[in-house]
Amino acid sequence: MALIACRNASFAYEGHVAAGGLSFTVNAGDYLCVVGENGSGKSTLLKGLLRLIAPRQGDVLTDGLRADEIGYLPQQTAAQKDFPAGVFEVVLSGCLPRLGLRPFYSRKEKTEARENLRRLGVLELRGRCYRELSGGQQKRVLLARALCAARKALLLDEPAAGLDPAAAQELYRTIRELNSSGLTVVMVTHDARCVTEYATHVLHLRNEQVFFGTAGDYARTDAGRRFLGGGAA
């Protein structure tokens, strides 16, 4: 079943088309990696899929996926680095789409937040202060928050940015497990290893769509060989 379908869509950032000519489909259970150089429109595309910005042209069909079924892991902002927030407060805020018109979280949401912390192996951090955690721990906490919001899909914007290689690999393995358990994953990444090992589909951007298809086909294209580091072969 198609969760997201773009038909010749383009998204603009500050007046310029950042990502154009987009035609691709994300089906339930897919693991799509969005790759491309800095400034190639990856984050803009993600914002478009989240419906934070409207397409300038074309259609984005997200019939199979409501906004409150998506868990989003944004890039870290400068303000968060010294923000006084408790880990549990952060994760609980992932249940925001479940609030509806209620002002406060119920026991059900608190249980879910705790369950997602456990799922990511960081339950013992729940009483800690967010800014005092290591980079890898912070990412796991934010991923737990995204899981609270995610019913069908996870949209991740460079989840491994700023992590050391070991922590990054561990995070990728966790994301892979979440994908295996039925969540659709759309991830912006710079990491070639992640693409070859985990992705089922690849979308390569250079302000327009260079490639979309399965990870296997991608490895056989010129763009794919260059990105994956097999250019000499």
Partner 1 sequence: MIATLAEMFSYTFLVRAAVVGLMVALCSALLGVSLVLKRYSMIGDGLSHVGFGALAVATAMRAAPLAVSIPVVVLAAFLLLRVSENSKIRGDAAIALISTSSLAVGVLVISMTTGMNTDVCNYLFGSILAMSKADVYLSVALSAAVLVLFALFYNRIFAVTFDESFAKACGVNAGAYNALIALLTALTIVLGMRMMGALLITSLIIFPALTSMRLCKKFRSVIVCSAAVSVVCFFAGVVLSYLYATPTGASVVAVNIAAFAAFSLAGFLRERG
Contact positions vs partner 1 (CB under 8 A): 14, 47, 50, 52, 67-68, 70, 72, 74, 77, 79-80, 83-86, 89-90, 92-94, 96-97, 99, 103-105, 129, 131-132, 145, 149, 155
**Which of 1, 67 has the CB closer to partner 1?**
67
**Closer to partner 1 by Cβ: residue 92 or 168:** 92
Shortest reach from residue 213's CB to partner 1, in Å: 27
What are the contacts of 197-202 at 24+ separation with CB within 8 A? 197/172, 198/31, 198/33, 198/172, 199/31, 199/32, 199/33, 200/30, 200/31, 200/32, 201/24, 201/26, 201/30, 201/31, 201/32, 201/33, 202/32, 202/33, 202/34, 202/35
CB of 109 to partner 1, least distance (A): 10
* Shortest Cβ 96–partner 1 spacing (Å): 4
Q: Is 80 exposed, middle or buried (0-12, 13-18, 19+ CB in 10 A)?
A: middle
Residue 40 beta carbon to partner 1: minimum distance, rounded to whole angstroms? 19
Q: Which is nearer to partner 1, 101 or 232 (CB)?
A: 101
Q: What whole-number distance in Å separates Cα of residue 207 and Cα of residue 56?
A: 14
Nearer to partner 1, 68 or 115 (CB): 68
